[in-house]
């Protein structure tokens, strides 16, 4: 589990589309994520446990991202298309610990 969980809070990218991949690590069952994640997009929670890709258009609020279960390692990869800096790519991200 990430610490803290969630570690990605609600935010939006005003000028950039984002693609977020969640990729399972079981070579025998590649569609199995190995966990369960709640990813809120536009105020609607999406809960998934399969390898997946999410497209988030520029300006759409998304987050928090909360891990509900983890059974095995998996990859989360966010691609903010056109962003040139970490500050542009992660306005709701890892350095904003909230109490």
pLDDT per residue rounded down to tens, the chain (99 residues): 788 899 889 999 999 999 999 999 999 999 999 999 999 999 999 999 999 999 999 999 999 999 999 999 999 999 999 988 887 887 766 555 444
57 domain-assigned: yes
pLDDT of 99 reads 41
> Are residues 63 and 6 in contact, defined by beta-carbon separation less than 8 angstroms?
yes
Confidence at residue 97, expressed as pLDDT on a 0 to 100 scale: 47
Asked if the structure places residue 9 within a domain, the reply is: no
94 within domain boundaries? no
pTM of this prediction?
0.84
Is residue 12 a part of any domain in this protein?
Answer: no
The tally of domains found in the chain comes to: 1
Distance between alpha carbon 73 and the CA centroid of its chain, in Å?
Answer: 15
Q: How far apart are CA 86 and CA 5, in angstroms?
A: 20
Domain that holds residue 30: 17-89
Query: Is the residue at 10 inside a domain?
Result: no
Residue in 7, 8, 14 with CA at minimum distance from that of residue 88: 14
87 sits in which H/E element: helix 86-89
């Amino acid at each position: 589990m990430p610490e803290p969980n969630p570690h990605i809070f609600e935010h939006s990218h005003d000028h950039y589309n984002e693609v977020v991949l969640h990729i399972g690590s079981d070579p025998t069952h590649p569609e199995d994520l190995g966990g369960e994640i709640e990813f809120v997009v536009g105020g609607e929670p999406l809960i998934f446990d399969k390898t997946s890709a999410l497209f988030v258009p520029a300006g759409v609020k998304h987050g928090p991202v909360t891990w509900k279960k983890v059974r095995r390692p998996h990859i989360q990869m966010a691609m903010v298309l056109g962003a040139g800096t970490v500050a542009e790519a992660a306005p709701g991200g890892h350095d904003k610990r909230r109490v």
